[in-house]
Structure 1
């Protein structure tokens, strides 16, 4: 009888032990960040930095269409913590190498799935993985971020295009991922609006938390939405069930109906990383590389053909050249003029933006009669200027292999693909297919109309740039109430954390406060001329546009010379100072030369830049700073040339909306 009692007790107790709560811990290599993962009836994690609780009991789970929930009553089958220290090559980024150092907590659960947490000195990331071989439908993912108090945020909502009426999430899933930031408390977030990533949260003691994702593949992108209390919850677009051609010039596929699941996945795989980047000082965010190092390694074996550079761009300035004996527009003569301009100034590429292909056909083999494309390509090749073609996404997708082969054989160097305007799994799959196919044919890509980067530029280095930014194009039509000056000193700490930005700077018409107005055919920037030059240093942009008219640049030779010779990828980057939405200064090195770019918001500012970051020696400094009247006339600037050493301090006054740009050439 006693033996029977013991057996019955064991039958009751042993399963209960499998459900016993367990807490697992990992910390950053420097010990400042600690992540605690508690596995109980559900799975939640807590993130602390230097004793400050930044995230508390944040939930995570994955629900399959079968009803199985990874994260509910989960039973651990094994766990381990593994340190890692290495270096990643970054040939087309803000530094030539990336230090990759973290402690990794791997938790395996019964049922052939698990979780991986990585804890870096600069933040943490986690993701699910599956060891199952069969195909799975993912119905939902819970990625919650719970905060201990009513922290402030810098939030970019999906833009509301319905004249003030509330839009359903389904309507919001179609968007261009462009908006300015609102400073709002967690409790004040609008529960009816989706938030696109990255999102910045203000924590105690001046710390910040930047939330984003990386290694997004065969899965929809992550949105956030107001949760209960002081929390954020995840939202994902359902998998498209039916689509139809439409949208901008019939160049898109519009989703008309969605499935009741978010993703279909095949075989053993990992899922995207959910990232919380932590900064003790704002400036650290401006040189963050976590999104890059969490991405999958390069799938392009030979990258010797990939050439970053600058692009003479036609669309922003509305093909508005003058002083010529032909009518400018989308025609061969205009593009030869652009090529001649690029050739004389060492600019690597000219883009043919929307208009070169017959409108409303979504067919990239129908070229308008005014364009002799083979002649333009030949003319560019003679002058070592590459041609990049704009393409609406559906026109590119519907015959991708033939389009890439045909235009690569003609000598085109790449495509600017536009108007994707969604990030469901179908669209994410397109982005990866396009990247792979373009790489096969040695074509560069610039993804416009695109969600934020998620490390794709590491996996496919031929992808040099991404939009997903409220760039200078907005000032062709936006009223003065759209504050680009404040936006410019905000995005280095948020959007740029995710990766490169096709912001398209370089305006030569510059408006001081109160003087800006939208003029589509002759657009201007908000802020000063020196600010526009500084943006070429401050913003990460390996394929970087010269947005203004070649004719305008040729009237501004000092500014043109500085822009034309500036690198677009870097060997080293240093954040010198910065405060979100107020100011930022970055220094970047290429070879032995250094560049410094600094910008301010609408508050004028005196800066003293300590040059001790420079290697010892003497440098020839070329400085562009705001002129004495830049507060009244934005194009007023002063150029100075003198010698400095690493022991000097550089003092410079920034006008409201101003900036400064420096080149330092090593003398000895």
Structure 2
């Protein structure tokens, strides 16, 4: 603490003329990243947007168990600026066809012992990213014990931040699971009550400019990281996981492996709220797809009994009913939740698979990630812990005709746990099985690398609303935060939409608010909470609307909104536009939307009417006025 504080004092006080500096700008010249070494050989960087300082002088560097790469460094070379251009296709998310363009420079350093260390900077029009690399080759294992990367924002910067939970806390010791409420518009100096810092993506507003921070390209040899405010250095720092966040007491926690070894990209979006909301940096910097065949990957909607009916719904007859429900709604999937192996049994599951096939529906089965990291008793468990058992189970599921798995209750971000995620995704991909992670970490762009990763929870989702009235009371504002936070870059299995009622809970959001969620939230497979009885009470136009909504988009646009208050987005699939919005506050609002980009001249809108009912009306493209009730919402389709 004291040493890093002194380092930043030296960096901030040393004149630029006395430092070895270089710079790289975005293609449109609006973002500039300056970087270099101080006289003490401490690497640093600073960032400005259109001449306004966004991140002040901030520390860089890594510390390995065998050597230090954060001080006493010398510049071996600084590359010229090169152009980075990448185009790729996503099978889910905001956009299908994406083009990433950035300028890159590399700083190659040597430490006091002559070992090489590289820092690579990419700067695009919507932000920047940096990562570290040890380029030399070794046969012995190297362990990284600390990362010095920091983000020094101006005084008065506010954050919209989700706290990291305490490892081994929560029900059956199942934390951390990225399931805490956001602290919104909070001073970044304020420590979260849980004391463990903040998870990604973290959203900040500094000097009137919006900044999002996440990581991408997280390989199996690095741990997942998060952020923590360091009072001594007055900066937000990257920190490693808590001691218990690993697969076993003696398993790897910190990054380790033979060289060459790279860190993930530290990804920072910069701009106005529209720029942040439309950004795809989280997948732009992710590792490229390893899939050779993606024909089996079909985004879609799933029916799901457990959300409202809980454990007793996991039985043969109810599952058959929900298969019929999915078929009637033209949905592709039906999820069978925990304890199916004991409550239904494998032989009966095979019968349900055959029945579902006749209805053009495929099943998804729940699994416990197992291991010593939690005490959850639900089964099946222990199926994915070794390469042999993973391949055996996925081959069985593939042979049976199962479409995918929902794997629950992981144990954190230690390097061994991150490697376990990769093991599961690789094996599932080989056997053409779709994956949904629950009680899990943030995907960090893995859906690009492994397109069979359809979604992940990592959020305080709908199930919490069904358990606690205090959660339901806060839910509208929480959900209005998510397009700008958790769901900004990565798919999110919030399991949304209760149109009718939640047992023993007074739902605060309106029916139209709930109807908006499946097209507002991004998830490769969207598991919907509403059950057949609730759906049957809805007007025909609502049911028809829900029979034909995509979960993968060709284009998305931010139209209006503010984190935690409201969110209005437009999403296009083919020639069809969906406009969707929610009001997260307990007061009515009006918006004027510019829909001139919509080519169709006329569409329809469903919004809140009187006495809790929804109403349908015709709407024309162009300038459209929308009135939202307190905790209300709307959908449009052109």
TM-score range, shorter chain: 0.7 to 0.9
Contact 1:43 1:72 in 2 (8 A): no
Contact 2:104 2:120 in 1 (8 A): yes
Q: 1:130 deviation in Å?
A: 1.8
Say whether residues 1:145 and 2:146 are aligned partners: no
314, 325, 341: which is aligned to 1:357?
341
Say whether residues 1:330 and 2:307 are aligned partners: no
1:527-558 CA distance string (max 9 Å, x none): 11111111122111120011121221122243
Contact 1:138 1:263 in 2 (8 A): yes
Show the counterpart of 2:236.
232
Q: How does 1:101-116 map to 2 (within 5 A)?
A: 101-110=101-110, 111-116=115-120
Q: 1:523 deviation in Å?
A: 5.5
1:128-176 CA distance string (max 9 Å, x none): 0121221311122122111131311112112469999xxxxxx999411
In our comparison, the structure showing a higher alpha carbon Rg is 1
Show the counterpart of 1:453.
443
Show the counterpart of 1:504.
495
Show the counterpart of 2:6.
none
Say whether residues 1:197 and 2:197 are aligned partners: no
558, 578, 598: which is aligned to 2:541?
558
Between the two proteins, the alignment pairs up a number of residues equal to 591
Please give the alpha-carbon distance, in whole angstroms, between the structure 2 residues aligned to 1:402 and 1:96.
33
Contact 2:81 2:104 in 1 (8 A): yes
Please give the alpha-carbon distance, in whole angstroms, between the structure 1 residues aligned to 2:124 and 2:149.
20
Aligned-CA RMSD value: 2.5
Secondary structure, in 3 states, of the residue corresponding to 1:496?
coil
Say whether residues 1:278 and 2:266 are aligned partners: no
278, 282, 292: which is aligned to 1:287?
278
Contact 2:174 2:410 in 1 (8 A): no
Q: 1:508 and 1:371, CA in 2 relative to 1: closer, same or farther beyond 3 A?
A: farther
515, 518, 538: which is aligned to 1:533?
515
1:163-217 CA distance string (max 9 Å, x none): 99xxxxxx99941111111132122234833211111111113x21111110111
Say whether residues 1:655 and 2:626 are aligned partners: no
State which drifts further: 226-235 or 590-599: 226-235
Say whether residues 1:100 and 2:104 are aligned partners: no
Show the counterpart of 1:579.
562
Show the counterpart of 1:28.
26
Say whether residues 1:182 and 2:183 are aligned partners: yes
Q: 1:174 and 1:317, CA in 2 relative to 1: closer, same or farther beyond 3 A?
A: closer
Please give the alpha-carbon distance, in whole angstroms, between the structure 2 residues aligned to 1:381 and 1:115.
52
Please give the alpha-carbon distance, in whole angstroms, between the structure 2 residues aligned to 1:283 and 1:172.
39
Please give the alpha-carbon distance, in whole angstroms, between the structure 2 residues aligned to 1:83 and 1:102.
6
Q: 1:231 and 1:173, CA in 2 relative to 1: closer, same or farther beyond 3 A?
A: farther
Q: 1:72 deviation in Å?
A: 3.7
463, 474, 485: which is aligned to 1:483?
474
Structure 2 length-normalised TM: 0.88
Contact 2:166 2:175 in 1 (8 A): no
Please give the alpha-carbon distance, in whole angstroms, between the structure 2 residues aligned to 1:338 and 1:190.
41
Contact 1:30 1:121 in 2 (8 A): yes
Q: 1:234 deviation in Å?
A: 2.0
Q: How does 1:246-645 map to 2 (within 5 A)?
A: 255-256=248-249, 262-280=254-272, 282-318=273-309, 329-358=313-342, 368-369=344-345, 372-394=348-370, 395=381, 396-398=383-385, 399-480=389-470, 483-509=474-500, 521=503, 525-556=507-538, 557-602=540-585, 603-615=587-599, 617-619=600-602, 621-629=603-611, 633=612, 636-640=613-617, 642=618, 644=620
Structure 2, unmatched stretches of 5+, are 1-17, 371-380
Say whether residues 1:123 and 2:127 are aligned partners: yes
Contact 1:313 1:352 in 2 (8 A): yes
Q: How does 1:45-56 map to 2 (within 5 A)?
A: 45-56=45-56
State which drifts further: 535-544 or 393-402: 393-402
Secondary structure, in 3 states, of the residue corresponding to 2:122?
strand
Secondary structure, in 3 states, of the residue corresponding to 1:36?
strand
Q: 1:83 deviation in Å?
A: 1.4
Structure 1 length-normalised TM: 0.84
Please give the alpha-carbon distance, in whole angstroms, between the structure 1 residues aligned to 2:72 and 2:309.
56
Contact 1:94 1:569 in 2 (8 A): yes
Structure 1, unmatched stretches of 5+, are 1-19, 165-170, 244-252, 321-327, 359-366, 511-518
Show the counterpart of 1:133.
137
Show the counterpart of 2:9.
none
Please give the alpha-carbon distance, in whole angstroms, between the structure 1 residues aligned to 2:176 and 2:316.
34
Q: 1:194 and 1:554, CA in 2 relative to 1: closer, same or farther beyond 3 A?
A: same
Q: 1:370 deviation in Å?
A: 9.3
Show the counterpart of 1:362.
none
Q: 1:508 and 1:379, CA in 2 relative to 1: closer, same or farther beyond 3 A?
A: same
